[in-house]
Structure 1
Amino acid sequence: MLGQRPIEMTAVLCGLANIALIVRRSIWNYPFGIVMVTLYAFIFFENRLYSDAGLQIYFFAMQVYGLWNWLNGRADDGRIVVLRLPPRQIPWFLLGGLAAAAAHGSAMAAFTDAAFPYWDGAIAILSILAQYFMARRYLEHWLLWILVDLLAIALFLAKALYPTALLYGIFLLFSAAGLLTWWRIVRAAEATPAAAAGR
Protein backbone atom coordinates (compact mmCIF):
# COMPACT_ATOMS: atom_id res chain seq x y z
CA MET A 1 0.00 0.00 0.00
CA LEU A 2 2.85 2.38 0.76
CA GLY A 3 4.07 2.01 -2.82
CA GLN A 4 0.81 3.58 -3.94
CA ARG A 5 1.47 6.85 -2.12
CA PRO A 6 3.22 8.70 -5.01
CA ILE A 7 0.46 7.59 -7.39
CA GLU A 8 -2.20 8.59 -4.88
CA MET A 9 -0.62 12.01 -4.33
CA THR A 10 -0.45 12.59 -8.09
CA ALA A 11 -4.13 11.68 -8.37
CA VAL A 12 -4.91 14.04 -5.48
CA LEU A 13 -3.14 16.97 -7.15
CA CYS A 14 -4.91 16.30 -10.45
CA GLY A 15 -8.21 16.10 -8.58
CA LEU A 16 -7.65 19.46 -6.94
CA ALA A 17 -6.83 21.09 -10.27
CA ASN A 18 -9.86 19.39 -11.83
CA ILE A 19 -12.47 20.62 -9.35
CA ALA A 20 -10.97 24.12 -9.06
CA LEU A 21 -11.34 24.50 -12.83
CA ILE A 22 -14.89 23.09 -12.76
CA VAL A 23 -15.91 25.76 -10.24
CA ARG A 24 -14.53 28.35 -12.68
CA ARG A 25 -16.43 26.68 -15.55
CA SER A 26 -13.14 26.12 -17.38
CA ILE A 27 -12.98 23.39 -19.99
CA TRP A 28 -9.37 22.75 -18.95
CA ASN A 29 -10.66 20.71 -16.01
CA TYR A 30 -10.95 17.69 -18.29
CA PRO A 31 -7.26 16.84 -18.94
CA PHE A 32 -6.67 16.76 -15.18
CA GLY A 33 -9.83 14.72 -14.69
CA ILE A 34 -8.75 12.11 -17.24
CA VAL A 35 -5.40 11.59 -15.49
CA MET A 36 -7.07 11.47 -12.08
CA VAL A 37 -9.62 8.77 -12.94
CA THR A 38 -6.97 6.63 -14.65
CA LEU A 39 -4.78 6.64 -11.54
CA TYR A 40 -7.69 6.01 -9.18
CA ALA A 41 -8.79 2.96 -11.18
CA PHE A 42 -5.52 1.34 -10.13
CA ILE A 43 -5.61 2.62 -6.54
CA PHE A 44 -9.15 1.47 -5.83
CA PHE A 45 -8.64 -1.95 -7.42
CA GLU A 46 -5.59 -2.56 -5.26
CA ASN A 47 -7.64 -1.66 -2.16
CA ARG A 48 -10.55 -3.97 -3.12
CA LEU A 49 -12.92 -1.05 -3.65
CA TYR A 50 -14.19 -2.65 -6.83
CA SER A 51 -17.24 -0.43 -7.31
CA ASP A 52 -15.02 2.64 -7.19
CA ALA A 53 -12.43 1.00 -9.47
CA GLY A 54 -15.05 0.13 -12.08
CA LEU A 55 -16.54 3.57 -11.70
CA GLN A 56 -13.35 5.12 -13.02
CA ILE A 57 -13.96 3.46 -16.40
CA TYR A 58 -17.34 5.18 -16.55
CA PHE A 59 -15.74 8.42 -15.37
CA PHE A 60 -13.16 8.20 -18.15
CA ALA A 61 -15.93 7.90 -20.76
CA MET A 62 -17.87 10.75 -19.15
CA GLN A 63 -14.76 12.93 -19.11
CA VAL A 64 -14.55 12.52 -22.89
CA TYR A 65 -18.30 13.14 -23.30
CA GLY A 66 -18.19 16.12 -20.94
CA LEU A 67 -15.29 17.64 -22.86
CA TRP A 68 -17.30 17.40 -26.07
CA ASN A 69 -20.49 18.75 -24.46
CA TRP A 70 -18.71 21.65 -22.76
CA LEU A 71 -16.95 22.56 -26.02
CA ASN A 72 -20.39 22.87 -27.61
CA GLY A 73 -22.04 24.66 -24.68
CA ARG A 74 -19.91 27.74 -24.19
CA ALA A 75 -21.00 31.36 -23.94
CA ASP A 76 -19.27 34.27 -25.67
CA ASP A 77 -16.76 34.54 -22.81
CA GLY A 78 -15.65 30.95 -23.42
CA ARG A 79 -17.18 29.60 -20.20
CA ILE A 80 -19.92 27.02 -20.22
CA VAL A 81 -23.60 27.89 -19.89
CA VAL A 82 -25.14 26.49 -16.68
CA LEU A 83 -28.47 24.63 -16.99
CA ARG A 84 -31.09 23.40 -14.48
CA LEU A 85 -32.25 19.81 -14.20
CA PRO A 86 -35.87 19.65 -15.46
CA PRO A 87 -38.07 19.28 -12.32
CA ARG A 88 -40.15 16.47 -13.82
CA GLN A 89 -37.02 14.33 -14.10
CA ILE A 90 -35.99 14.62 -10.44
CA PRO A 91 -38.29 11.87 -9.01
CA TRP A 92 -37.18 9.43 -11.69
CA PHE A 93 -33.51 10.03 -10.98
CA LEU A 94 -34.12 9.67 -7.22
CA LEU A 95 -36.06 6.41 -7.50
CA GLY A 96 -33.72 4.99 -10.10
CA GLY A 97 -30.68 5.93 -8.04
CA LEU A 98 -32.01 4.28 -4.87
CA ALA A 99 -32.94 1.08 -6.71
CA ALA A 100 -29.60 0.95 -8.52
CA ALA A 101 -27.63 1.54 -5.30
CA ALA A 102 -29.47 -1.28 -3.50
CA ALA A 103 -29.06 -3.69 -6.40
CA HIS A 104 -25.41 -2.83 -6.92
CA GLY A 105 -24.57 -3.19 -3.24
CA SER A 106 -26.33 -6.57 -3.09
CA ALA A 107 -24.43 -7.82 -6.14
CA MET A 108 -21.08 -6.68 -4.75
CA ALA A 109 -21.84 -8.35 -1.40
CA ALA A 110 -22.85 -11.62 -3.05
CA PHE A 111 -20.21 -11.99 -5.75
CA THR A 112 -17.06 -10.16 -4.58
CA ASP A 113 -14.92 -9.68 -1.49
CA ALA A 114 -15.61 -5.94 -1.54
CA ALA A 115 -14.70 -4.29 1.75
CA PHE A 116 -17.87 -2.19 2.14
CA PRO A 117 -20.23 -3.27 -0.66
CA TYR A 118 -23.32 -1.17 0.15
CA TRP A 119 -21.38 1.91 1.21
CA ASP A 120 -19.10 1.64 -1.81
CA GLY A 121 -22.07 0.91 -4.07
CA ALA A 122 -24.03 3.96 -2.90
CA ILE A 123 -21.03 6.17 -3.63
CA ALA A 124 -20.68 4.57 -7.06
CA ILE A 125 -24.30 5.14 -8.12
CA LEU A 126 -24.43 8.70 -6.76
CA SER A 127 -21.17 9.44 -8.56
CA ILE A 128 -22.55 8.09 -11.83
CA LEU A 129 -25.51 10.46 -11.57
CA ALA A 130 -23.35 13.39 -10.47
CA GLN A 131 -20.86 12.90 -13.30
CA TYR A 132 -23.67 12.70 -15.86
CA PHE A 133 -25.28 15.86 -14.47
CA MET A 134 -21.91 17.63 -14.59
CA ALA A 135 -21.30 16.61 -18.19
CA ARG A 136 -24.79 17.95 -19.01
CA ARG A 137 -23.89 21.21 -17.22
CA TYR A 138 -26.69 20.91 -14.64
CA LEU A 139 -26.39 23.03 -11.51
CA GLU A 140 -27.70 20.14 -9.41
CA HIS A 141 -24.58 18.06 -9.92
CA TRP A 142 -22.98 19.97 -7.03
CA LEU A 143 -25.66 18.73 -4.60
CA LEU A 144 -24.90 15.14 -5.49
CA TRP A 145 -21.15 15.68 -5.23
CA ILE A 146 -21.60 17.10 -1.73
CA LEU A 147 -23.38 13.90 -0.69
CA VAL A 148 -20.75 11.74 -2.41
CA ASP A 149 -17.95 13.64 -0.68
CA LEU A 150 -19.47 13.13 2.77
CA LEU A 151 -19.89 9.39 2.22
CA ALA A 152 -16.47 9.00 0.61
CA ILE A 153 -14.55 10.79 3.36
CA ALA A 154 -15.78 8.28 5.93
CA LEU A 155 -15.11 5.32 3.62
CA PHE A 156 -11.55 6.32 2.78
CA LEU A 157 -10.75 6.99 6.42
CA ALA A 158 -11.95 3.47 7.19
CA LYS A 159 -9.61 2.12 4.47
CA ALA A 160 -6.65 4.26 5.69
CA LEU A 161 -6.51 6.13 2.37
CA TYR A 162 -5.74 9.32 4.22
CA PRO A 163 -4.55 11.53 1.31
CA THR A 164 -7.67 10.55 -0.63
CA ALA A 165 -9.89 11.25 2.40
CA LEU A 166 -8.24 14.67 2.63
CA LEU A 167 -8.82 15.19 -1.09
CA TYR A 168 -12.53 14.48 -0.66
CA GLY A 169 -12.63 16.88 2.28
CA ILE A 170 -11.25 19.56 -0.02
CA PHE A 171 -13.67 18.40 -2.73
CA LEU A 172 -16.47 19.01 -0.23
CA LEU A 173 -15.38 22.62 0.25
CA PHE A 174 -15.01 23.13 -3.50
CA SER A 175 -18.41 21.53 -4.11
CA ALA A 176 -20.05 23.94 -1.67
CA ALA A 177 -18.26 26.86 -3.34
CA GLY A 178 -19.20 25.53 -6.78
CA LEU A 179 -22.86 25.25 -5.80
CA LEU A 180 -22.92 28.86 -4.63
CA THR A 181 -21.01 30.11 -7.68
CA TRP A 182 -23.14 28.28 -10.23
CA TRP A 183 -26.34 29.22 -8.35
CA ARG A 184 -25.46 32.91 -8.65
CA ILE A 185 -24.82 32.42 -12.36
CA VAL A 186 -28.23 30.78 -12.83
CA ARG A 187 -29.98 33.49 -10.83
CA ALA A 188 -28.26 36.22 -12.84
CA ALA A 189 -29.22 34.53 -16.12
CA GLU A 190 -32.84 34.18 -14.98
CA ALA A 191 -32.98 37.81 -13.87
CA THR A 192 -31.62 39.20 -17.14
CA PRO A 193 -34.69 38.43 -19.31
CA ALA A 194 -36.98 39.75 -16.57
CA ALA A 195 -35.02 42.98 -16.34
CA ALA A 196 -35.07 43.36 -20.11
CA ALA A 197 -38.84 42.76 -20.21
CA GLY A 198 -39.39 45.47 -17.62
CA ARG A 199 -37.76 48.16 -19.74
Structure 2
Amino acid sequence: MNLTEWLQGFAGASPLEWIATVAGFMCVYLLIKRSIWSFAFGLVQVSIYAWIFFEVKLYSDMVLQFFYIGFQFYGWAIWRRSQDDSGHVLVVKGSLNEYLLWLMAVILSTALVGYLMSNNTDASLPYPDAFTTCASLAAQWLLSHKKLFNWGFWIVVDIVAIAIYWQKQLYPTSALYLCFLVMAVIGQWQWYRAFKTNQNKTDS
Protein backbone atom coordinates (compact mmCIF):
# COMPACT_ATOMS: atom_id res chain seq x y z
CA MET A 1 0.00 0.00 0.00
CA ASN A 2 1.38 3.41 -1.00
CA LEU A 3 0.99 6.62 0.98
CA THR A 4 -1.91 7.87 -1.15
CA GLU A 5 -3.96 4.72 -0.57
CA TRP A 6 -3.12 4.84 3.13
CA LEU A 7 -4.36 8.44 3.44
CA GLN A 8 -7.48 7.58 1.43
CA GLY A 9 -8.18 4.79 3.90
CA PHE A 10 -8.06 7.27 6.76
CA ALA A 11 -10.19 9.81 4.88
CA GLY A 12 -12.76 7.14 4.04
CA ALA A 13 -13.19 5.97 7.63
CA SER A 14 -16.69 6.31 9.04
CA PRO A 15 -17.55 9.05 11.56
CA LEU A 16 -18.44 6.31 14.06
CA GLU A 17 -14.95 4.83 13.80
CA TRP A 18 -13.40 8.24 14.42
CA ILE A 19 -15.61 8.84 17.48
CA ALA A 20 -14.68 5.42 18.86
CA THR A 21 -11.01 6.13 18.16
CA VAL A 22 -11.01 9.41 20.09
CA ALA A 23 -13.00 7.89 22.96
CA GLY A 24 -10.58 4.98 23.13
CA PHE A 25 -7.58 7.29 23.26
CA MET A 26 -9.12 9.27 26.12
CA CYS A 27 -10.01 6.06 27.96
CA VAL A 28 -6.44 4.74 27.95
CA TYR A 29 -4.98 8.16 28.77
CA LEU A 30 -7.17 8.35 31.88
CA LEU A 31 -6.34 4.74 32.79
CA ILE A 32 -2.66 5.67 32.82
CA LYS A 33 -3.58 8.53 35.17
CA ARG A 34 -5.55 6.03 37.29
CA SER A 35 -8.70 8.12 36.89
CA ILE A 36 -12.13 6.55 37.37
CA TRP A 37 -13.46 8.71 34.51
CA SER A 38 -11.70 6.40 32.06
CA PHE A 39 -14.68 4.06 32.25
CA ALA A 40 -17.07 6.68 30.84
CA PHE A 41 -14.99 7.07 27.69
CA GLY A 42 -14.50 3.30 27.58
CA LEU A 43 -18.25 2.76 27.51
CA VAL A 44 -18.61 5.02 24.46
CA GLN A 45 -15.72 3.32 22.68
CA VAL A 46 -16.77 -0.30 23.15
CA SER A 47 -20.44 0.36 22.35
CA ILE A 48 -19.51 1.77 18.94
CA TYR A 49 -16.91 -0.90 18.19
CA ALA A 50 -19.45 -3.67 18.79
CA TRP A 51 -21.24 -2.49 15.64
CA ILE A 52 -18.06 -1.81 13.65
CA PHE A 53 -16.65 -5.31 14.28
CA PHE A 54 -19.97 -6.90 13.31
CA GLU A 55 -19.80 -5.12 9.96
CA VAL A 56 -16.29 -6.42 9.18
CA LYS A 57 -17.01 -9.97 10.48
CA LEU A 58 -14.64 -9.86 13.43
CA TYR A 59 -17.18 -11.73 15.53
CA SER A 60 -14.90 -12.59 18.44
CA ASP A 61 -14.05 -8.91 18.78
CA MET A 62 -17.73 -8.02 18.51
CA VAL A 63 -18.64 -10.35 21.39
CA LEU A 64 -15.70 -8.96 23.35
CA GLN A 65 -17.21 -5.47 23.23
CA PHE A 66 -20.32 -6.69 25.06
CA PHE A 67 -18.11 -8.09 27.81
CA TYR A 68 -16.30 -4.75 27.86
CA ILE A 69 -19.58 -2.91 28.41
CA GLY A 70 -20.12 -4.94 31.57
CA PHE A 71 -16.50 -4.42 32.61
CA GLN A 72 -16.88 -0.63 32.43
CA PHE A 73 -19.49 -0.74 35.20
CA TYR A 74 -17.65 -3.48 37.10
CA GLY A 75 -14.32 -1.65 37.01
CA TRP A 76 -15.91 1.64 37.99
CA ALA A 77 -17.54 0.01 41.03
CA ILE A 78 -14.22 -1.46 42.20
CA TRP A 79 -12.09 1.62 41.50
CA ARG A 80 -14.40 4.02 43.33
CA ARG A 81 -13.81 2.04 46.55
CA SER A 82 -10.00 2.14 46.31
CA GLN A 83 -8.60 5.62 45.76
CA ASP A 84 -5.89 7.66 47.42
CA ASP A 85 -6.34 11.18 48.78
CA SER A 86 -5.88 12.68 45.31
CA GLY A 87 -8.60 10.50 43.78
CA HIS A 88 -6.25 8.07 41.99
CA VAL A 89 -6.76 4.34 42.25
CA LEU A 90 -4.31 2.35 44.38
CA VAL A 91 -2.26 -0.21 42.41
CA VAL A 92 -1.99 -3.86 43.54
CA LYS A 93 1.08 -5.92 42.56
CA GLY A 94 -0.52 -9.37 42.17
CA SER A 95 1.29 -12.71 42.41
CA LEU A 96 3.35 -14.55 39.78
CA ASN A 97 1.04 -17.58 40.04
CA GLU A 98 -1.95 -15.37 39.31
CA TYR A 99 -0.41 -14.01 36.12
CA LEU A 100 0.70 -17.49 34.98
CA LEU A 101 -2.81 -18.86 35.49
CA TRP A 102 -4.26 -16.07 33.38
CA LEU A 103 -1.64 -16.70 30.68
CA MET A 104 -2.55 -20.39 30.55
CA ALA A 105 -6.24 -19.51 30.40
CA VAL A 106 -5.59 -17.19 27.45
CA ILE A 107 -3.72 -19.90 25.52
CA LEU A 108 -6.38 -22.58 26.06
CA SER A 109 -9.35 -20.30 25.42
CA THR A 110 -7.74 -18.91 22.25
CA ALA A 111 -7.41 -22.44 20.86
CA LEU A 112 -11.03 -23.24 21.72
CA VAL A 113 -12.62 -20.01 20.51
CA GLY A 114 -10.48 -19.94 17.36
CA TYR A 115 -11.51 -23.50 16.53
CA LEU A 116 -15.21 -22.76 17.07
CA MET A 117 -15.11 -19.57 15.00
CA SER A 118 -13.11 -21.25 12.23
CA ASN A 119 -15.49 -24.19 11.89
CA ASN A 120 -18.88 -22.62 12.62
CA THR A 121 -18.82 -19.07 11.23
CA ASP A 122 -17.47 -17.05 8.33
CA ALA A 123 -15.21 -15.19 10.75
CA SER A 124 -12.21 -13.42 9.30
CA LEU A 125 -8.85 -14.26 10.94
CA PRO A 126 -10.47 -16.53 13.55
CA TYR A 127 -7.39 -17.43 15.59
CA PRO A 128 -5.75 -13.98 15.82
CA ASP A 129 -9.19 -12.52 16.50
CA ALA A 130 -9.78 -15.14 19.20
CA PHE A 131 -6.43 -14.34 20.79
CA THR A 132 -7.09 -10.61 21.08
CA THR A 133 -10.52 -11.41 22.51
CA CYS A 134 -9.32 -13.86 25.16
CA ALA A 135 -6.19 -11.92 26.09
CA SER A 136 -8.18 -8.69 26.31
CA LEU A 137 -10.66 -10.27 28.71
CA ALA A 138 -7.79 -11.39 30.93
CA ALA A 139 -6.18 -7.95 30.75
CA GLN A 140 -9.47 -6.21 31.47
CA TRP A 141 -10.09 -8.37 34.54
CA LEU A 142 -6.60 -7.61 35.85
CA LEU A 143 -7.11 -3.92 35.09
CA SER A 144 -10.46 -3.83 36.88
CA HIS A 145 -8.74 -5.30 39.93
CA LYS A 146 -5.91 -2.73 39.66
CA LYS A 147 -3.22 -5.36 39.06
CA LEU A 148 0.14 -3.82 38.21
CA PHE A 149 1.07 -6.04 35.26
CA ASN A 150 -2.25 -5.84 33.39
CA TRP A 151 -0.32 -3.59 31.01
CA GLY A 152 1.92 -6.47 29.92
CA PHE A 153 -1.14 -8.29 28.61
CA TRP A 154 -2.33 -5.15 26.84
CA ILE A 155 1.04 -4.67 25.14
CA VAL A 156 0.82 -8.11 23.49
CA VAL A 157 -2.85 -7.58 22.58
CA ASP A 158 -2.07 -4.24 20.95
CA ILE A 159 0.72 -5.69 18.79
CA VAL A 160 -1.58 -8.38 17.38
CA ALA A 161 -4.52 -5.99 17.05
CA ILE A 162 -2.52 -3.50 14.97
CA ALA A 163 -1.89 -6.20 12.35
CA ILE A 164 -5.50 -7.43 12.36
CA TYR A 165 -7.13 -4.03 11.91
CA TRP A 166 -4.62 -2.97 9.28
CA GLN A 167 -5.44 -6.07 7.25
CA LYS A 168 -9.17 -5.34 7.63
CA GLN A 169 -8.53 -1.76 6.40
CA LEU A 170 -9.66 -0.21 9.68
CA TYR A 171 -6.83 2.30 9.47
CA PRO A 172 -7.87 4.76 12.21
CA THR A 173 -8.44 1.79 14.50
CA SER A 174 -5.04 0.34 13.60
CA ALA A 175 -3.44 3.72 14.32
CA LEU A 176 -5.36 3.88 17.60
CA TYR A 177 -3.91 0.54 18.67
CA LEU A 178 -0.44 1.78 17.78
CA CYS A 179 -1.09 4.64 20.18
CA PHE A 180 -2.45 2.11 22.68
CA LEU A 181 0.81 0.16 22.40
CA VAL A 182 2.90 3.21 23.24
CA MET A 183 0.49 4.21 26.00
CA ALA A 184 0.52 0.68 27.47
CA VAL A 185 4.30 0.87 27.82
CA ILE A 186 3.93 4.28 29.49
CA GLY A 187 1.09 2.92 31.63
CA GLN A 188 3.22 0.05 32.88
CA TRP A 189 5.94 2.47 33.90
CA GLN A 190 3.54 4.97 35.52
CA TRP A 191 1.69 2.29 37.47
CA TYR A 192 4.98 0.77 38.63
CA ARG A 193 6.10 4.17 39.92
CA ALA A 194 2.76 4.68 41.66
CA PHE A 195 2.98 1.23 43.26
CA LYS A 196 6.53 1.84 44.52
CA THR A 197 5.60 5.29 45.84
CA ASN A 198 2.65 3.91 47.79
CA GLN A 199 4.77 0.98 49.02
CA ASN A 200 7.42 3.38 50.32
CA LYS A 201 4.75 5.40 52.14
CA THR A 202 3.41 2.22 53.73
CA ASP A 203 6.87 1.07 54.81
CA SER A 204 7.85 4.43 56.28
Same fold (TM over 0.5): yes
Who is 1:33 aligned against?
42
Who is 1:89 aligned against?
98
1:48-75 alpha-carbon deviations (Å, 9 max, x no partner): 0000000000000001100101111111
Contact 2:162-2:174 within 8 A present in 1 as well: yes
Aligned with residue 197 of structure 2, among 176, 183, 188 = 188
Who is 2:118 aligned against?
109
1:166 counterpart letter in structure 2: A
Who is 1:166 aligned against?
175
* Distance change (3 Å), C-alpha of 1:78 and 1:63: same
1:97 counterpart letter in structure 2: V
Structure 1 unaligned blocks of 5 or more: none
1:49-198 pair list within 5 angstroms? 49-194=58-203, 196=204
- Structure 2 SS opposite 1:80: coil
1:5-44 pair list within 5 angstroms? 5-44=14-53
Contact 1:70-1:80 within 8 A present in 2 as well: yes
- 1:158 Cα offset (Å): 0.6
- 1:3 Cα offset (Å): 7.8
- Structure 1 SS opposite 2:14: helix
Matched length: 195
- 1:188 Cα offset (Å): 1.9
TM-score by length of 2: 0.92
1:76 counterpart letter in structure 2: D
Matches of 1:105 and 1:85 in 2, distance apart? 29
1:155 counterpart letter in structure 2: I
Matches of 1:3 and 1:111 in 2, distance apart? 32
1:121-177 alpha-carbon deviations (Å, 9 max, x no partner): 000000000111111111111101100000000011111100000000001111111
- Structure 2 SS opposite 1:68: helix
Matches of 1:13 and 1:187 in 2, distance apart? 31
Matches of 1:110 and 1:175 in 2, distance apart? 33
- 1:87 Cα offset (Å): 2.3
- 1:11 Cα offset (Å): 0.2
Question: Alpha carbon RMSD of aligned pairs, Å?
Answer: 1.5
Matches of 1:91 and 1:168 in 2, distance apart? 25
1:110 counterpart letter in structure 2: N
Matches of 1:93 and 1:192 in 2, distance apart? 30
Who is 2:4 aligned against?
none
Structure 2 unaligned blocks of 5 or more: 1-8
